[in-house]
Amino acid sequence: MNPRLTLASSVAGAVIVALDGTVLTLAQPTLQRELGASFAQVQWTSTGYLIAVAGLLVFAGRLGDRYGHHRVFGIGMLGFGAASAGIALAPGVGWVVGLRVVQGVFGALSQPATLGMLRAAYPPDRLRTPIAVRTAAIGVAAAAGPVIGGALVAGPGWRAVFLLNVVPALVFGALALAVRPAPAASPARLDLPGALLLAVTLACLVHALVAMPGWGWTAATATVTGAAFIRHERRTASPLLPPDVIGSAAVGSALGMLVAASAALSGALFVGTFLLQGTLALDPFRSALVSLPLALLMVLAAPSCAVLLRRAGARRTTVAAMTVLALGILALSRASATPALCAAFALVGAGFGTVMVAATHVVVREAAVEAPEGRAGGESPSARRPEGLSTVGLSTPAGAPRRRLRSKGLSAGVAGGLQQTAMNLGPVLGVAAATALMGSGGGPELPLSILAGVALAGAALGRKLPGRPDDAIDDHGQSKDRTRVPARR
């Protein structure tokens, strides 16, 4: 699959999943009424999906590294489309919940692959624009989702919401499976015990945060299995998370920023809904219009971020963006007039859109391409770096064993899985924190101020990210973010 078609598939996969989650929220009240479901059952149409996705994202990324990102993406899209069609025909809410879990499994397969395919198809110095296009498309889906979902629910009904993504999912899934990757695959073995421990840990963590009744048992289980996972990863010869995940300060900081930014955004939107429709007494339609600048600025921030990354570097870009996000949330807590609310939402959208592109760029660019399509994408090791340098930019003898060089690289699929895990855990944490703070009896000012503090705390993590490319030509091997050029002889 050529780079342009790869980008189209990556964008389509991300948009399909984003749109599905956005329009479902509007369909849930009608779904509950027509199927005679309880509030708890309707909640599980979202919770079941989140648990399945959170538990499988990293392992799905490793599957893409081993068997090919296009292949795993194709299977994920076909399964997602089939599950969506099944939900549209479901006779009862039990079927809806079960098929949403199935949908989450296939969504977990496809999402890391959308980033893994980009990493394999584009060289590191050309990743900014594809990631920006992907982020902008997600912003468009977030803006269009409520409008499309409202029109479908008011017209054909809630079942049409799930039919919306069936055709594009099947089309792009079939196109991805038509690609024939090179026969060589990543030599890394699948760490099935580690995958199981991590899946249980993340699933229990999400359940403890979302489904509050019985949260103590699932929180305790997450603690035990999390400790067992860390112990297992330290001892196994083929860990699920390559050593670079633990050892790279840039990757860890970028993932932390994604969690903080998505938590602050989701929590602020949760509180903002009650602020607009409760305190300010706006109707849902006017509330949507007031918050529209958020989606608009998120779309505009994505291509602008590609320019900022090239000129200012990831460190300055992300720190400034997280600060803008925090200022926007603070402004939202104090705004009451429509112009002030629109300006606050615009700041939030600009800050979050920029952080999402910049931090994702760092995580994905740090990844070594071990999947088969890495060579097909025109990114062979010999073409990208001088002889004698490993995939992580550390000087090694030219005759060093090839297996040792490759084991040091963070694989593209795992990088995509970690990025998606961060983007799924952040909203769960943010909404849980906002719910607890709103339940304390105060107004929206306190939770929004604390969420702004979360964004500022995330800004502090940006100090570990790479600076401008011109500032670190000789960084003594500390950065894997740029290709090194041998000295002239």
CA distance linking residue 364 with residue 414, whole number of Å:
9
Give pLDDT, residue 473: 35
**Mind listing the pLDDT tens digit for each residue in 334-387?**
888 889 999 999 999 999 999 999 998 888 877 665 433 433 333 433 333 333
- Minimum mean pLDDT range among 30-44, 256-270, 293-307, 317-331: 30-44
Q: Is 446 exposed, middle or buried (0-12, 13-18, 19+ CB in 10 A)?
A: middle
Specify the higher pLDDT residue, 256 or 389.
Answer: 256
45 alpha-carbon distance from chain centroid? 20
- Interhelix angle 128-154/284-334, rounded to 10 degrees, is 130
Look at residue 412 and tell me whether its pLDDT is greater than 80: no
- What is the token pair recorded at 22? 């956005």
Give pLDDT, residue 324: 95
- Interhelix angle 128-154/338-365, rounded to 10 degrees, is 130
- State the pTM of this model: 0.77
pLDDT band at 244 (very low <50, low <70, confident <90, very high): low
352 vs 243, 274, 419, 449, 458, CA distance in Å? 29, 21, 15, 17, 12
Q: How many CB atoms are closer than 10 A to CB 483?
A: 13
Give pLDDT, residue 399: 40
Tokens 């963590």 found at: 205
Give pLDDT, residue 396: 37
Specify the higher pLDDT residue, 244 or 62.
Answer: 62
315 alpha-carbon distance from chain centroid? 20
- What is the token pair recorded at 363? 């995580």
Give pLDDT, residue 167: 93
Look at residue 106 and tell me whether its pLDDT is greater than 70: yes
Mean pLDDT of 419-448: 82
Q: How many CB atoms are closer than 10 A to CB 50?
A: 25
Greatest Cα pair distance, the chain, in angstroms, is 77
CA distance linking residue 251 with residue 478, whole number of Å:
12
- What is the token pair recorded at 402? 């090839």
pLDDT band at 487 (very low <50, low <70, confident <90, very high): very low
- What is the average pLDDT score of the chain? 79
Nearest to 103 by CA among 192, 11, 169: 169
Beta-carbon contacts of 162 under 8 Å, excluding residues fewer than 6 positions away, are 20, 84, 85, 87, 88
**Mind listing the pLDDT tens digit for each residue in 326-335?**
999 999 988 8
DSSP H helices in 236-274: 243-247, 249-274
